[in-house]
Structure 1
Amino acid sequence: METNKIIQYVREHPAGKVKIAFTDIDGVLRGKYISTEKFLSVCEGSTGFCDVIFGWDAADVAYDNGRFTGWHTGYPDTPARIDLDTFRKIPWEEDIPFFLGDFIDKQGKPSSVCPRQLVKKLVRDAEELGFTACFSQEFEWFNFSETPQSATEKNFKNLSPLTPGMFGYSILRSSLNNPFFTDLFQLLKNFDVPLEGLHTETGPGVLEAAILYSGILEAADRAVLFKTAVKEIAYRHGILATFMAKISETLPGCGGHIHQSLWHKDRNAFYDEKDANGISTAMRQYIAGQLFCLPHILPLFAPTINSYKRLVEGAWAPTTLTWGFDNRTVALRVLPGNKKACRLETRVVGADVNPYLAMAGCLGAGLYGIKNGLDLKQPATSGNGYLDFSNGTLPATLEEATAKMKASTIAKEIFGEGFAAHFVQTREWEWRQHLKAVTDWEYKRYFEII
């Protein structure tokens, strides 16, 4: 929509307010309502937003190791710009106008710690190589017949799943909860987060949705908004949705797989009809880049303690540095398809990611392979990828993955030193918080016996 029409819509909306939001490093949307007058005064310039959102964790606990902001800086406002191209109407809030924004520094340049700015940087990197990146993300998530209050009162134990049993691709279950299904599909579409598909997945109350592909920045915006929108729509039905990577050791984890392709003008640069497998040299280099970089940037794809409970053998999530054709046991699943559909699916990614960072990680690693002309020497895995150790395995804990990222020059080269340093510090903090916690496992194992 043209800028003048957007401003006219905002000016004439009877609510007299606008909702704006930014993402923190964990991918949590942080925002507020502002008056129409305030919006009109800053929409084509800049505004400010408290930089504490880069100074605390997902539980609003202040980091003690951050350099970007902290008690030592006084948590000032940081400059920000509202992106008018992200204009949406929130259909479950009387179509009030909504916008995403970016953080900038005092000189007006992109902030080094802003996740959305990181995606924009990778877009420019791709363009310099002559490519446009098209991405989409799919999510699996659990749904419970609970409220935030009831779940807290139960201490998140013995929650009631939306439906019982392991019933993937169930027509019955989608009929049983049809009002929720219908609202998800229609309201997300009205919110400009269109879905390609929505179905039940294996596990009690588990759903999976595939978001329609687009350019990478729009794809990342859609994915970020999808996670929050699903939770808000679920609230309307008395449902509590979670995108944790793993809620139980006895149930499959929740993936956030990312599909991606590079395009040169109107041609899919991943497709080569002359190749026996239908994939181009550029795609082979892109795959090689991801295989090489994955161990160095894994926290972008598995950012929490819980992420690594999902990355275990036989749980529909990869554990080895492998690739293969239409193989769901490997880290990188190649789908040659045809000149329109040829793409790569990165299956390492969990549902708990910050989509901006995960997509930036995929694109950055792939472009690294193209820039450096990496050969895909490792053969495609046929059969069980969990048993293919020819190229090594993924780091098994957040501590291991973060230490590897900190010691590597790859993340600094691809994403910049400012971002890499800040992100590593936040993951080190996350690990230290986990070490202090006394878990149910410890009580059950040690309370009586030791």
Structure 2
Amino acid sequence: MNKTKESIIETIKNSPLNKVKVAICDIDGVLRGKVMHKDKFLNVLDSNFGFCDVVFGWDAVDVAYDNGKYTGWHTGYPDAVAIVDPATFRKVPWDNDIPFFLADFRNKDNEGLDVCPRTLLKKIIKKSEDMGYKPVFSQEFEWFNFKETPQSLDEKGFSGINPITPGMFGYSILRSTYGSAFFNDLFDLLEKFEVPLEGLHTETGPGVFEAAITYGDALESADRAVLFKTAVKEIAYKHGIIATFMAKWNKELPGCSGHVHQSLWDESKEHNLFYDEKAENNISELMQQYIAGQLFCLPDILPMIAPTINSFKRLVEGAWAPTTITWGVDNRTTALRALPGSKKATRLETRICGSDVNPYLAMAACMAAGLFGIENKLKLEIAPTRGNGYEETKNGVLPGSLKEATERMKNSDLSVKLFGEAFTDHFVRTREWEYRQFAQEVTDWELRRYFEII
């Protein structure tokens, strides 16, 4: 699709619809947006528009933080300046082809807003490019699907909910044909929405799918990943289905991953700098430094890729999610899985990420940590794990809860070095809020365990 400003203006003017949808991504990875009359949109395309900054002052369920610094009752929740990014232009094929755009936030000096996740990723990408490396990324997601509606979930209290299919049917050709209209719509409509998939299949678990999004430049890949999650939910609505990207919705079932794949290329994008045909396993020295950087940094920035209370329910032994500071070659029990091979496909997969991540923050964290390793010429002194990564604890284990991980990030100078003081302060405050909300709740588990017997 031609995405010059001139062509976009012409397309909007000639659209049979009189409206345009615009969205931003908040700190939790939730798309927040509005529909504008196309005349209003054409005006703001050449300038900017106001978007209430409460989207960075409340949590995923719209409860205002009591510890916010960037905005809050003390600021009066004013409008922030938002700028439409014309390069994100798409049409929503399941919603009458309504034109759709993502927007970025700016501060009063017309610079990128520090607390904006998309702005942070753009800063890290710029650093990579200034170092001479073009980051090429992609993300894959697992998620569960249920024969429910928002109303039925509320009425049932989120218990006794029905998956679209029963049983454990990973990579099942059989199950993917049951209710195939939904399965086919996902693949075809996402393609039309310019979120192309390399693959889509069932995973093990009742009603669970997995999709690998086609790789591309890092910012485009993050945009695709953010749009993918909302698109899947909207397409599911059309079929009377609720899709969830919780990292672990049921303790008896596998969790849902959001693995990030990454590689660095030269400025011409002709040479994958992670590949070296003369090196052991074809892993270049640059890739070794990148891996070393992630292994060094990840324990201090874990909330960026495990952002919720629920994230840590997935990070348990024997559940296809890592718990130790490890790496290996094509090893699915380690935190980092190196995938060396061809010149084109050699890459690193960060397996800590669950499907509940904010893709902008997950990719920013992975890239910043890897670049830290390159910048400081870190040696990959941790040997690759050749067996069970859950048993390789000599190099350390990951923090086991959001509270522990957030306190470590808060007390680490490294996070400020990687992401800046303003973003780090804001993000840590939001994670402190998140674990405090859970700490004050009385759960069903507590009622069953203590109500009668204590």
**TM-score normalized by structure 1?**
0.99
Q: Distance in 2 between matches of 1:11 and 1:443?
A: 59
- Candidates 375, 380, 394, aligned match of 1:371: 375
Aligned-pair CA distance for 1:141: 0.3
Show the counterpart of 1:394: 398
Q: Distance in 2 between matches of 1:443 and 1:5?
A: 60
SS at structure 1 position matched to 2:282: coil
- Aligned residue runs from structure 1 range 1-400, under 5 A: 1=2, 2-264=4-266, 265=268, 266-400=270-404
SS at structure 2 position matched to 1:261: strand
Letter in 2 for 1:48: G
Letter in 1 for 2:160: N
Aligned-pair CA distance for 1:5: 1.2
Q: Distance in 1 between matches of 2:134 and 2:108?
A: 30
Aligned-pair CA distance for 1:276: 2.1
More deviation, 126-135/8-17: 8-17
SS at structure 1 position matched to 2:94: helix
Q: Distance in 2 between matches of 1:437 and 1:181?
A: 37
Show the counterpart of 2:438: 434
Letter in 2 for 1:92: W
- Candidates 415, 421, 435, aligned match of 1:417: 421
SS at structure 1 position matched to 2:301: helix
Q: Distance in 2 between matches of 1:9 and 1:149?
A: 37
Cα deviation, 1:122-142, whole Å, max 9, x if unaligned, reads 111001110000000000000
Cα deviation, 1:84-120, whole Å, max 9, x if unaligned, reads 0000000011111000010000110010000000110
Cα deviation, 1:319-358, whole Å, max 9, x if unaligned, reads 0000000000000000001100000000000000100000
Aligned-pair CA distance for 1:3: 1.8
Q: Distance in 2 between matches of 1:355 and 1:276?
A: 31
Aligned-pair CA distance for 1:429: 0.3
Q: Distance in 2 between matches of 1:410 and 1:209?
A: 33
Aligned-pair CA distance for 1:448: 1.2
Aligned positions, number: 450
Cα RMSD after superposing both structures: 0.6
Q: Distance in 2 between matches of 1:432 and 1:61?
A: 13
Q: Which structure 2 residue ranges, 5 or more long, are not aligned?
A: none
SS at structure 2 position matched to 1:304: coil
Q: Distance in 1 between matches of 2:240 and 2:325?
A: 41
**TM-score normalized by structure 2?**
0.99
Q: Which structure 1 residue ranges, 5 or more long, are not aligned?
A: none
